[in-house]
Chains A and B, each alone.
Chain A
Amino acid sequence: MTEGWRHTAKPFAWRRSLWIAALLTPALLVMVLFVLWPLLSAFRFAFYEFNGLRPSGFIGLENFRQVLFEKPYSDWTWNAFKHNVIAFLALMLFENGTAFLIAFALLKALPGHRVHQVIVFLPVVLSAVIVGFLWKLFLHPLFGLVNQLLGLVGIGAIPWLGNEHTALGSILFANIWHWLGFPALVLLAGMQRISKDVLEAARLDGAGDLALMTKIVWPLIAPSVTIVTILTFIGSFNWFEIPYVMAGLTGSPGGSTDVLGLYFYRTAFGSTTTGIQDFGQGSALAVLMFVFVAGVTAIALRYLRRREIEQ
């Protein structure tokens, strides 16, 4: 009996492995060609000097030294990095904070909550390019909807995207409008997984909305918070589309909306109007961004997972 099983199991296992390999190969090929290969190329190019558009010699860590410590490149790098950090903090506070409140309100299943759920999620399905363009029009100093409305109460034309002090905030606002529905949905899904018995027991014990939110719901949706935090972090440091559409490749005005994604693109691929391409420096920036995002994500995941277990 055992012998027979062995006899038939071997070809079956072999066939099964072949089948799995056949299923995985296309995906693996795509990953290797379009993810792994460019990543390894970027690592290699980061150590080369480019004379024109071709690598001309191995220069070790020189490209890294330039983008981190040599002016004006270092100023531009740290300026862009600062804006990514601001974006992350602002999105955590305003986007995810609002999303939490919305999710909690939707959890209560008030009349019309299904319509609101759709409305909140609707902008997420729009392309970032469309959202950026739309908000650029809304924020136009002369013809934009926002200034037209402000004009009704006597406030003059505000150059939202042209003023160093309001440009980044305006772009962040557009980004929050675009993505708010996503964390709201993830957090709502987390809240809906909480046992109704737990919520009802808390209510019977006299817990109000605030106590329910902070003492029961918040600790119990820790896995969802982990996902939202990690995705917000990765999104903030890979931020490109909306700043590109609303502020252009130079992060105007005066670099006040520059982020690492824009600075990398500008450095590696140049622009018709600012000048030349430098794949070496661009690759160094890409490597730094990758190492930073991957490193912090790994550490944060470890910490957040521990927090989930503790709670």
Chain B
Amino acid sequence: MSRRRIGLALAAASFAWGFATSLAHATEISFWTWRQEDKAAYNELFADFTKANPDIHVKFESFPDENYPTIVSTALAGGKGGDVIHTHAYGWLEQFVKAGYFEPLDMATVPSLANQPADALVSGTYRADKKVYSLPFASQTLGLFINKDVFAKAGLTPPTTWDEFITVSKALKEKGIYPLANGMGTSWFNEMFVAIFTNPFLGPDFVSDLTSGKTTFKDPRYVAALGKLLELRPYMPDGFEGIDYETAGQLFLSGKAAMLAGGSFDIATYRSQNPAINMDFVAPPMAKAGDTPQATKFFDGGYAVNSKSASKEAALKLVNWMGTKEFGDKFSALLGNISPIKGVVIKDELLSHVAKLNETAMPHINVVYFRFEKPTGSELLQGDITKMMSGSITPDQLAADLTDGLAKWYKPFQGK
């Protein structure tokens, strides 16, 4: 009996020793993000990674969105920070790359870069050396949420053109329903609101003229598109100047409003807040019948490797895995986001509809082209748009402020 006990104790001890040794040899890396709400999904994804790479364990660490840039920049400046950093894209990323905080990614270290489409890679590329520093994780689409039940109850069809939008909005208002849930109380979303409704009036030619330096925001096409926003005011909630994006979402979810200009990033949130909601996500109203539906698209950010990471090899391995179809399929299914990885299968009907909208979507002009230097297009537009919507400045003045402000660093606008 005592021999048996001794034997069992020895077996347990050797098992524990073996387990401890395997843990001691395992590398633990950390993943830093602002997406606190995605913890469960990422932990499930990281468990899959560890299954395939038993020697690497990934720790999910999240920080408040609003303070994320400060926390990340302070940590990286001190040679600390996560091994893999969730980054925003374009200009946000560039300031970190300039400071040398991220490791360049190439086909040798991250072969899954080949799975990314060219426009996605631009979002994680530093313009000066043309190297990729952040592996894109999701595209976001801006468009119009439709509460199908509200439309059905009102006996109306969701609009596809601007004229239909106005007609339907008048009818909804007469029935005591807010046609459009949005207000102007959230600065970051106001910029998206502008992109959503102006892009169908601008079209790809305007973007091409703007980025090639042929025109500026003072272009009559841009001023006219801004003018269209003023026509929306009667169909927004009472006191819309003070309605924030969260309230707008609640008005839409509760059926008090029929439409909401919003982003695909909120699909999962709205479904969790009201599982019974019968909603659609469509392109915003076209300028006229027969035009190409034009939602707005941008890449939200990506995954970068801390250049001071003590486990760079493991971090690169993780980032490479995050660029595979295996990751993309599960990422889209768990988080309701559209992975840019080629060949990713999106099973959800609404999400696959959004992915279809992406094929003809316009870029989010300010985010993609005008957030690289100070003053950013976002600072300028967010400051002025509430003034324009409340009537204290005109679309011409906004367009001039935007152009003149950007001319500080964007050479094609200088002297125009």
Binding site for B on A (CB under 8 A): 51-54, 71-73, 139-143, 147, 156-164, 248-250, 252-255, 269-278, 281
Min C-beta distance of B67 to chain A, whole Å? 8
Min C-beta distance of B120 to chain A, whole Å? 19
- Are A163 and B242 closer than 8 Å at their CB atoms? yes
Chain B residues positioned under 8 Å from A140 (CB to CB)? 242, 247
Chain A residues positioned under 8 Å from B77 (CB to CB)? 53-54
Min C-beta distance of A277 to chain B, whole Å? 6
Give the dominant DSSP class at A's interface.
loop
- Are A250 and B187 closer than 8 Å at their CB atoms? yes
- Are B392 and A52 closer than 8 Å at their CB atoms? no
Question: Does any Cβ of A come within 8 Å of B379's Cβ?
Answer: yes
Question: Does any Cβ of A come within 8 Å of B240's Cβ?
Answer: yes
Give the dominant DSSP class at B's interface.
helix
Min C-beta distance of B178 to chain A, whole Å? 10
**Known contacts A159-B239, A272-B34, A272-B66; A252/B185 CB under 8 A:** yes
Instruction: Please indicate which of the listed interface residues A157, A270, A273, A281 has the most CB atoms of chain B within 10 Å of its own CB.
Output: A273
Minimum CB distance partner of A265 in chain B? B70
- Are A276 and B240 closer than 8 Å at their CB atoms? no
**Known contacts A51-B98, A141-B242, A162-B184; A249/B375 CB under 8 A:** no
Binding site for A on B (CB under 8 A): 34, 65-66, 68-70, 73, 76-77, 88, 91-92, 94-101, 183-188, 191, 237-243, 247, 251, 371-376, 378-380, 382-387, 390, 392, 401, 404-405
Chain B residues positioned under 8 Å from A273 (CB to CB)? 187-188, 191, 378, 382
A139–B77 Cα distance when bound, in Å, is 41
A277–B77 Cα distance when bound, in Å, is 13
**Known contacts A142-B237, A163-B241, A270-B69; A250/B95 CB under 8 A:** no
Min C-beta distance of A154 to chain B, whole Å? 14
Minimum CB distance partner of A269 in chain B? B70
A137–B187 Cα distance when bound, in Å, is 18
Chain B residues positioned under 8 Å from A161 (CB to CB)? 185, 242
- Are A274 and B378 closer than 8 Å at their CB atoms? yes
In the complex, which of the residues A71, A252, A275 contacts B374, with contact meaning CB atoms closer than 8 Å? A275
Chain B residues positioned under 8 Å from A269 (CB to CB)? 69-70, 73
Min C-beta distance of A145 to chain B, whole Å? 14
A278–B404 Cα distance when bound, in Å, is 20
In the complex, which of the residues B94, B371, B390 contacts A52, with contact meaning CB atoms closer than 8 Å? B94
A147–B77 Cα distance when bound, in Å, is 47
